[in-house]
A and B are shown apart, each in its own frame.
Chain A
Amino acid sequence: MSLLKPFSKLPGLNTANILLVESEEQFQQSLADGLVEETAVTVNVRLAKSLPLPKENEESRPRIDLVVFIINLTSELSFQSAEASLKYLDPGYFLGKVCFMVTNARNASVPTERLDAVRKLAAALHCPLLFAEDQTPDGVTNATKRLLSILKVSAGLVPMATALYLSSLTSCTVPPDIDQPSFD
């Protein structure tokens, strides 16, 4: 069983490790470039196309503090790949160490059911859902900043806040009328 476990390794001193999972492997690169520019903490960024992670790196891989699933709303494959990868995460991760990031939400060709499905998934797992704009450098910077703030809490670098506490504040909620048709 190749579950990714949150507490199976020692945490790093003054480091934060983040895993970006994206089936297109595009946005994660620019996010990674932005994330490593943080100077106060050593940020290690691991990129993956999907889970389970390859067994060869099992020993050298550090303990992952935050797993981010990047879903591109314009492709159904992205969503399905993310959903399939969720099975390979230990349940201990869902107490605040998983985050969903969605791109292209403003695109007109996106069917509303897909966004609703992502919302329902994030709400069922009590995870935060972030919306990011990946085409402009400003959008990438903003997404990086938000990820960094969540990552710092997950890695224990923020005093008086743990990942579980933050997730109870930031988890996605589904509006009660989500199944009713919207005005289009």
Chain B
Amino acid sequence: MDLSDGVGNLHLMVEAAALNPAADSSNAQKDIPPADMLRMNQQMSNQCFEMAVQLQAGKSKRSCSTSQADRDLPDYVKELERVKTPNFNSTLILHRMQMWHAIGETLKRNDSEAVALKAGNDLCMALCSQIKLVQQESKVLQDEITEVQKKRLEMKRLIHENMKEMEDLKSKKEHGDTEKYKAALEKGQGNLEKYRKMSVMTQNVLRGIILACKINWMDDPKLRDIVMTLEDLPFSD
């Protein structure tokens, strides 16, 4: 097939070109740093991989409907994710190991870079111990703050309780007073009623006596005073 042939040819050409960067005329003059060359190498290998995938897809052709393919697609994607994640994690671990190995090798070599690395390392250690000290101090301060806050809360609670007690007592006192007062008041009123009735009765009796005796009470000043006071209270209830 035309497509797969073309892609296959290109694949070979790209691999050849990647293995032989000096043959690439556009970059012959520049002095490319090795990191850039590694990057370009990776780019080319990526492209080769894509073309290889295309070739693979072209080879294994089977006919199935789009709906079937759509149904299969999420399963394949999940499978891909399942495989890709541990691969990625392992690559990260590998990179880390490589980096540590490189650092170790530099330190062993004991040249200017190693000296710089060691100085950096010492600075890191000093900063870390400082950080630890400061963190401990801040922890102590934080604990003190927590204690003070607890005491404050306790105080607030006590104040609240005391206020409530005071309110209760105040209302109870007024109420208690009124009750005793009420009892006394009623008793007094009862007494007053009793004596009032007695005095009304006595006055009525005296009035009756004076009228029956037919005394001329207006001439005698003492009698007149007594009769005047008889009119203070009503005749009958």
Interface of A toward B, CB cutoff 8 Å: 5-11, 13-14, 92, 95, 155-160, 162-165, 168
Contacts and interface: CB of A to CB of B under 8 A. Distances in A.
Given A7-B3, A7-B54, A162-B50, 6 more contacts: A8-B6, A11-B44, A11-B47, A14-B36, A156-B50, A159-B46
Nearest to B8: A7
A158 B27 CA distance: 21
Interface in B22-45: 24, 26-27, 36, 39-40, 42-45
Interface in B51-71: 51, 53-54
Interface of B, secondary structure class, is: helix
- Identify the 8 closest CB pairs spanning chains A and B, nearest first: A156-B46, A156-B43, A11-B47, A156-B47, A7-B7, A159-B42, A168-B77, A157-B43
A13 B77 contact: no
A8 B13 CA distance: 12
Contact of A13 (B44, B54, B84): B44
B96 to A, nearest CB: 16
23 contacts: A6-B54, A7-B3, A7-B51, A7-B54, A8-B10, A10-B17, A13-B21, A13-B24, A13-B27, A13-B40, A13-B44, A14-B36, A14-B39, A156-B45, A156-B46, A156-B50, A157-B46, A159-B46, A160-B91, A162-B46, A163-B50, A164-B50, A164-B53
Contacts of A162: 46, 49-50, 53
Interface of A, secondary structure class, is: loop
B123 interface: no
Contact of A92 (B27, B47, B54): B54
Contacts, number: 61
Nearest to B7: A7
B43 A10 contact: no
B59 to A, nearest CB: 14
B6 A13 contact: no
B65 to A, nearest CB: 14
Contacts of A7: 3, 6-7, 10, 50-51, 54
B89 to A, nearest CB: 12
B114 interface: no
B228 interface: no
A8 B47 CA distance: 12
B13 A10 contact: yes
B22 to A, nearest CB: 12
A13 B49 contact: no
B217 to A, nearest CB: 106
Nearest to A7: B7
